[in-house]
Amino acid sequence: MNPVISIVMPVYNSEKFIQQTIDSIIRQSFSDWELILIDDGSDDKSGTICDMYAAKEPRITVLHQKNCGITKTRNLGLSKAKGKYIAFADDDDYCDENWLKINYKYIKEYKADFVKCGAIQKIYDEAGNESNIIYRTIDKFVVLEEEDFFNQYYYLKQSLILNTIWNGLYSIEFLNNNKISFDESMKWGSDDQLFNLDIYKKAKKGVIIPDTYYTWMQRKKHSKSKEYNLNRLDEYYRLYLSEIALLNKIFPDTIKERFWCIRVMQYITHSIFEISSLNKALLWKEKKEALKKLYKYPVLKKKYFNSVFQNLLKEKPLFALVLLLMHFDLWRTTLLFSTIYLRIIDIIKR
C-alpha cells in the first residue's frame, strides 16, 4: 500500500547535521509517509548514515548517485515518489513534529493543490554561531481561490512564505497534470522560487497557514545557496522574467508599476551586493563584466527610468541610489558604494 506523503531529501556532505533532520521526520505525529534520501555523491559519511537509517526504518529509502546537483536530485525524488502528496526537506534543517500533520489536514480539508506553512529561518555565521532569526510567516490564515491569487500575491510575497519549497505540501497529481518540476539548468539557489512561481500561476486552490512548522538552518559554511558564481546573475534574470510574467497577468496597472519596480530592484541590488562582497574571489575587471549582465533588466533603460526612479525614491531610497549609479554606468562607484554599505552593516551586526 502506497504512503500518503512522500518526503524527498537531497543529501550532500551533511554528516554533521543529517541525523537531526532525519530524526525530526521520524518523530512526526503523522506516520503515513515515506522518506526518499538521495545521496548526491557525498564524499563524507552522509551516504553511510542514510543507509544506517534505512536499515532500521522501513519507511526510508536511500538512493546513491554521482553528484549532479540539487535540481536533478529533486526531480529524481519526484519521479520515485509513491505518495498522493509530496514534501521536501533539506539535509540540515529541522521539522516540527506536526509539520506533516497540519499541512496534510488542510490540503485534504480544502482539496487544495498546495499548502504553505510558516517557517523560522536561523542564520549562522562562519564560526557556526547563530547570528539572526527571521520569521517567514503571515498574520492570518489564507485560502486562495480564483481572484485571491491576484489579491494576496503582494502580501504573501513580502512575507517570504512563497520563496521556499520545504514549508509546503503539494499534490503530486496537480504537479504531474501541469508538468511542474524543477528547472535543471538552475543551479545556484533560485530553483525553488521558480518552482513556486510555476505552481502559483497554475493552481486552482491553495492554503497558507500562519503557524511555523519548519526551521531552516542557514549555515554559511554548508549552504549551497550561499556560494557564488557569475552564472547566478542569469538565474536571477530568468526568475525576474518569470515573476514579471506573473505580475503582468494578475495585477492592474496601478498596482503593478509600484510592485514591479520594487521587485526588479530587489533582484538588481541583491546581485550588486553579492558581486561587491567577493573582494578576493573576483578582480575589479571581472566585477565590471558581472555588472554589465545586469543591464539586461529593462528597468535600467531610459524608457522606464523616470517612473521607476520616482517610485523607488519614495519607498526605497537605497535602491533608488543604486539605480541612479547603474543608469549612468558608474560601475566603479556602484561597487564602491555597495562594498562600503556591506562593511557598515557587518560592523553594526557585530
Cell triple for 270: 541583491
Summarised one tens digit per residue, pLDDT across range 112-135 is: 999 999 999 998 877 777 777 888
For residue 129, give every residue at least 6 positions away whose Cβ sits within 8 Å of its Cβ, in sequence order, or none. Answer: none
Which residue is associated with the grid cell 578582480? Answer: 283
Nearest CA among 28, 52, 20 for reference residue 39: 52
- Position 267 scores a pLDDT of 63
Confidence (pLDDT) at 230: 58
- Cite the DSSP H helix spans in 281-329: 284-293, 302-315, 317-327
Question: Rounded distance, CA 139 to CA 159, Å?
Answer: 9
Q: What distances in angstroms separate CA 258 from CA 59, 177, 223, 253, 311, one per listed residue?
A: 48, 34, 33, 9, 7
Cell numbers linked to 222: 554548508
Distance (Å, rounded) from C-alpha 59 to C-alpha 6?
A: 10
- CA pair distance 246, 226, nearest whole angstrom: 27
**What was the pLDDT predicted at 209?**
96
- Which residues of the chain, if any, have pLDDT below 50? 225-228
Residues forming beta bridges with residue 87, ordered by sequence position: 7
Between the two ends of the chain, the Cα-to-Cα distance in Å is 54
pLDDT digits 0-9 by tens, 194-210: 899 899 889 999 999 99
> Is the full-model pTM beyond 0.85?
no
Identify the helix (H) or strand (E) that includes residue 153. helix 147-158
Cα–Cα distance between 280 and 284 in angstroms, integer?
A: 10
Cell of 311: 517610485
Considering only CA atoms, which of 132, 117, 235 is closest in space to residue 185? 235
Measured CA angle at 46 (ends 44, 49), to 5 deg: 130
The gap from C-alpha 103 to its chain's centroid, in whole angstroms, comes to 19
> Looking at residue 227, what is its pLDDT?
46
> Which residue's entry shows cell 521526520?
25
Angle, CA 239 vertex, CA 219 and CA 227 arms, to 5°: 25
